[in-house]
Structure 1
């Protein structure tokens, strides 16, 4: 027995909605599982390669903590979005995980036209202390607390939404 076309669409839309919700639930579960250690992020005090102190406890404005690596394929697509956030006035602090010495990290930044502040993590000790094992990892930190975290590729719009939610 054939179902008339006008009755197939609601079933297809329902199936699509269910699949979309399952996909979103899976993404949220992965983000939760791979999120940095919130207590470690809040307690961390770092210094950029330009000797600027980074103290998440003192930040009232939401700060994007971006852990990336020179060898990370997804980071090549995420870094430009992070750069646009930085240039539009959002506070960004990045951690270059296992990407060489300071000169090599700065050469990578110059090559890709990136100007956001960077903390060099040549041996991965900082990333490990933060509980980060995947690049890119992005956390939104505000008022000394990690508000949101995601890993893998994300869009500039997704980042802006997360910053808005963190306020």
Structure 2
């Protein structure tokens, strides 16, 4: 019995290591090649407020969450990001090709999601930033990119990345 349990634990450990390696490899190959001026890009939220990512990341790490209303994986990640915002987290979201401002505001209200959001209706910003997958999560600290990940990420994964960037 003990040998079966030991073998099961060993196999589980191997599968976890393989899963972690695959996840890191996928992140490496799908991460955007952000331009040098990424954190100084002039942005504006849905409510017309100017946004400076570099300034927002000076006191504490900033999560830049690139998502879309049509993204299937985003429906699992967005609630974690919204919870972080509700707790006072430093977050700026960018909605990729999700309609005009009115349509996006309506969608956010319908889903009862409160996120500070920049609308990238045409996808131009995503092209400039070379975002190839949604969701994409970028952690910036003191104007410098510290972490980039794509695809589903747990609430703990997001919080760990922000903590590591501190």
Aligned to 1:14: 10
1:5-84 to structure 2, matched below 5 A, reads 5-38=1-34, 39-58=36-55, 59-60=57-58, 61-84=60-83
SS at match of 1:149: strand
Aligned partners of 1:149, 1:23: CA distance in 2, in Å?
A: 18
Q: Give the alignment's TM-score, normalised by structure 1.
A: 0.90
Stretches of structure 1 that go unaligned for 5 or more consecutive residues are none
Aligned to 1:113: 112
SS at match of 1:135: coil
Q: What is the RMSD computed on CA atoms of the aligned residues?
A: 1.5
Q: Flag the structure with larger Rg.
A: 1
Aligned partners of 2:112, 2:154: CA distance in 1, in Å?
A: 18
User: CA contact under 8 A between 1:56 and 1:142: conserved in structure 2?
Assistant: no
Q: Give the alignment's TM-score, normalised by structure 2.
A: 0.90
Aligned partners of 2:92, 2:3: CA distance in 1, in Å?
A: 52
Stretches of structure 2 that go unaligned for 5 or more consecutive residues are none
Aligned to 1:162: 161
Aligned to 2:152: 153
Aligned partners of 2:62, 2:111: CA distance in 1, in Å?
A: 22
Between 157-166 and 9-18, report the one with greater CA deviation: 9-18
Shift of 1:122: 1.0
* Cα gap change, 1:53 to 1:37, in 2 (>3 Å): farther
Aligned partners of 2:142, 2:124: CA distance in 1, in Å?
A: 25
- Alignment coverage as a number of residue pairs: 163
Deviations 1:18-68 (A, max 9, x none): 221111011011112222334353342211122222222222111110111
